[in-house]
């Protein structure tokens, strides 16, 4: 695939060569596969000490994560994507500095979450501030060097992956049982693994319109009741249903946080997702123009449930 990009000097540039950090991760795997399918020339950059495995046929560079080494690794690339796990987030500034020094034109920063304007609970402020350091670095470099640009991709809830991975979202696939929080009607937007891959491809195929900002991705806007109906249709059986108030999650999450215990993040994420009437997690509403720009496929609750059940049946790693 060859994509034209008008630069500030009006010369045509091409985004063809794309480097990715975190290629074997939860989201890096579908992103890498989408990039290869779309015809990009992909290079995986990975840590010297990494034990990650990668699909055959893709160039791999093992590197120390220093500005000097990564500048050498990134030279000749048109774009770079950071999709490392939370433990690697602090290495992102080095990647960004190296990308700019190497002449990379687009850096996709590590969001794949809730974006810069999300109304999160105060307990998440520290995590959010840590993530913003690198975003700010990308913004500063893009301001200073018009040939360097960045994009963040906000996906909201990674819906098919998250439902399967976290039964606390309300659906226990093995037991065919559900916890419905309050009325079960709180809407949120979600992006599937397929949608996350498409969002990255969409940014790189629309470089002008996505430069120097965060874009919003969405595969679906839905709620628990719609998903439960779809699960019952797909499995042909009535699921056991328990009702809870999501306020209990808020209380237990806050208590765990105060006492320094684990598990608070999931409790508070579930609260943020389903807080009645808050519409907190509608990150890409129906009329958001980015969804069309990125050529995202609108999916249905039946599509989502089909993906979750297929992944469970094939024993894919969560
Ligand atoms: N919206 C949501 O609810 C949601 C959910 C999950 C994740 N996310 C976000 O999505 C992004 C990717 O998360 P993920 O779950 O896909 O990641 P992941 O699977 O946990 O990790 C991906 C890769 O990160 C690299 N990595 C791990 N530790 C590192 C370190 N200390 N230094 C440098 N690299 C390291 C590894 O690559 P190598 O071994 O190749 O070096 C690893 O395979 C993150 O920003 C995460 O916060 C959002």
Q: Is pLDDT above 70 for 95?
A: yes
pLDDT digits (tens, 9 = 90+) for 98-110: 999 999 999 999 9
Cα(216)–Cα(197) distance, rounded to whole angstroms? 13
One-character DSSP codes across 169-201: GSEETTTTEEEEETTS---EEE--HHHHHHHHH
State which CATH number among 3.30.70.2740, 3.30.70.1400, 3.30.300.30, 3.90.25.10 fits the domain covering 159-190+221-283+299-311: 3.90.25.10
Domain edges within the chain: 4-157+191-219, 159-190+221-283+299-311
pLDDT digits (tens, 9 = 90+) for 200-236: 999 999 999 999 999 999 999 999 999 999 999 999 9
CATH of the domain spanning 4-157+191-219: 3.40.50.720
- Atom 18, ligand 1: residue with shortest CA distance: 85
pLDDT of residue 11: 46
Cα(194)–Cα(210) distance, rounded to whole angstroms? 20
Containing H/E element for 269? Answer: helix 264-274
Site to substitute for ligand 1 among 84, 132, 163, most atoms within 8 A of C-beta: 84
pLDDT, mean of residues 75-88: 97
Proportion of the chain in helix, strand, coil states, percent, rounded to 5: 40, 20, 40
- Give the closest residue to 170 by CA, choosing from 162, 161, 179: 179
CB-side neighbour CA atoms (13 Å) of 286: 3
Geometric angle at alpha carbon 64, from 146 and 137, rounded to 5°? 30
pLDDT, mean of residues 154-175: 97
- Give the closest residue to 45 by CA, choosing from 7, 86, 91, 1: 91
Does this model's pTM top 0.85? My answer is yes
Geometric angle at alpha carbon 232, from 231 and 233, rounded to 5°? 90
pLDDT of residue 316: 73
pLDDT, mean of residues 4-25: 73
CATH topology of 4-157+191-219 equal to that of 159-190+221-283+299-311? no
Mean predicted lDDT score pLDDT of the chain:
94
Protein residues whose CB sits closer than 6 Å to any atom of ligand 1: 22-28, 46-47, 50, 52, 83-88, 91, 110, 112-113, 155, 157-158
- Atom 22, ligand 1: residue with shortest CA distance: 25
pLDDT digits (tens, 9 = 90+) for 28-53: 999 999 999 999 999 999 999 999 99
- Atom 34, ligand 1: residue with shortest CA distance: 88
Distance from the alpha carbon of residue 86 to the mean position of ligand 1, in angstroms: 5
Q: Is pLDDT above 70 for 6?
A: no
pLDDT of residue 315: 80
């Amino acid at each position: 695939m060859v994509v034209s990009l008008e630069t500030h000097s009006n010369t045509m540039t091409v985004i063809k060569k794309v480097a990715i950090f975190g290629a074997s991760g939860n989201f890096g795997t579908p992103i890498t596969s989408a990039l290869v399918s779309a015809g990009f020339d992909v290079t995986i950059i990975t840590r010297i000490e990494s034990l990650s495995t990668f699909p055959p046929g893709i160039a791999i560079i093992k590197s120390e994560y220093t500005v000097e080494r990564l500048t050498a690794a990134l030279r000749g690339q048109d774009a770079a994507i950071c999709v490392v796990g939370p433990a690697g987030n602090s290495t992102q500034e080095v990647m960004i500095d190296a990308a700019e020094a190497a002449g990379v034109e687009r850096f996709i920063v590590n969001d794949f979450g809730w974006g810069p304007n999300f109304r999160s609970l105060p307990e998440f402020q520290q995590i959010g501030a840590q993530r913003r350091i690198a975003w700010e670095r990308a913004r500063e470099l893009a301001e200073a060097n018009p040939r360097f640009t960045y994009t963040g991709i906000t996906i909201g809830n990674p819906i098919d992956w998250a439902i399967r991975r976290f039964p606390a979202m309300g659906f226990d696939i093995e037991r065919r049982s559900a916890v419905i929080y309050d009325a079960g009607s709180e809407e949120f937007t979600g992006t599937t693994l397929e949608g996350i891959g498409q969002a990255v491809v969409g940014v790189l195929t629309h470089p002008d319109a996505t430069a120097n900002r965060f874009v919003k991705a969405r595969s679906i806007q839905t709620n628990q009741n719609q998903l439960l109906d779809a699960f019952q249709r797909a499995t042909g059986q009535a699921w056991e249903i328990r009702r809870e108030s999501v306020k209990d999650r808020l209380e237990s999450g806050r208590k765990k946080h105060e006492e320094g215990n684990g598990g608070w993040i999931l409790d508070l994420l579930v609260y943020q997702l389903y807080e009645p009437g808050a519409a907190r997690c509608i990150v890409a509403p129906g009329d958001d123009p980015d969804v069309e720009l990125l050529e995202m496929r609108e999916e249905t609750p039946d599509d989502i449930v089909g993906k979750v059940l297929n992944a469970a049946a094939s024993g894919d790693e969560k």
